[in-house]
Structure 1
């Protein structure tokens, strides 16, 4: 009786082993039909994973570099704000109807800092009216908060370098005010997303 049971167990094991073998062979046959062996599939998978991991590392590196530039801009704005508090009668540009004159030394120093931070070459003429904003309703000039003014300027420089297609929009020639507001929103949205990705929050509502 015991011998019969042992014999039956052995037959069952052989049948099961045969099924496993047949299943494995079936998988091999399917992969070969598509020109892949199990080893090739295994190697390709890890090759693809390596590529994805490399892409993630590169993306993280680019995000870190971008975040460093944001920090540089924030520090530059902070320094400039302190200067403006001490010398609150200094403005960045001569606008028709403006009462104060530009402080050329500070003006060019700021341009130099922004050029380095944004890796963009531009001339003083590029920021002739960034320290004031024209309200559409009253068609009048009003002083902007310095932080907003500076980020607005940085926005223009960034967009000029990275969104050249925007120059061909219908706003570029006909309506500077509308263009600047739209461009400003575009970059501020990008800055906001970048800060969220890195777990940061905006220091104040006026920058987003």
Structure 2
């Protein structure tokens, strides 16, 4: 479990194929940037661009993870060496919940359709798949590349969020370009409520 408050920006330094009978994914080497790995051990979870991944090995200032083909099919930004990625260590029960509850299980990818200055901040507009829009609401939470953000408004299949200077300085969102694909995770509470309402509706 995570909060969507990014702790560092790292970089994918190596991408190697896994080709075994059980796995056709990738092994990634990731430079941790300023992320403190002193309390991280093999088997721990780290969110990489919003994707919950398991640490398979550690070295000075870096770690490796294995990524399944299914995860690669549902996400973006993990399969290119040189990509800068948002990093967050797993939430501890004693931590402050500064963002919102984030599982690290990406729902789908969206497309950046606009990123324009709005005072000292930027307005980011993302087109999401139609299947996700029922879980996205104004003033609700959404995770974009692992970053917890508040939805400002919705128009059709697009939603907008505000990127304050601190968010731009601490994440890789400042590097987004038009038509870039981003990892999206909707608010898990919204998903549970929708699921319960659907079950209740079917029961009626």
Q: Shorter-normalised TM-score: what interval? A: under 0.3
Say which structure is richer in strand: 2
TM-score for the superposition, normalised by structure 1? 0.27
- Please say which structure displays the higher CA radius of gyration: 1
TM-score for the superposition, normalised by structure 2? 0.27
Higher relative contact order at CA 8 Å, sep ≥6: structure 1 or structure 2? Answer: 2
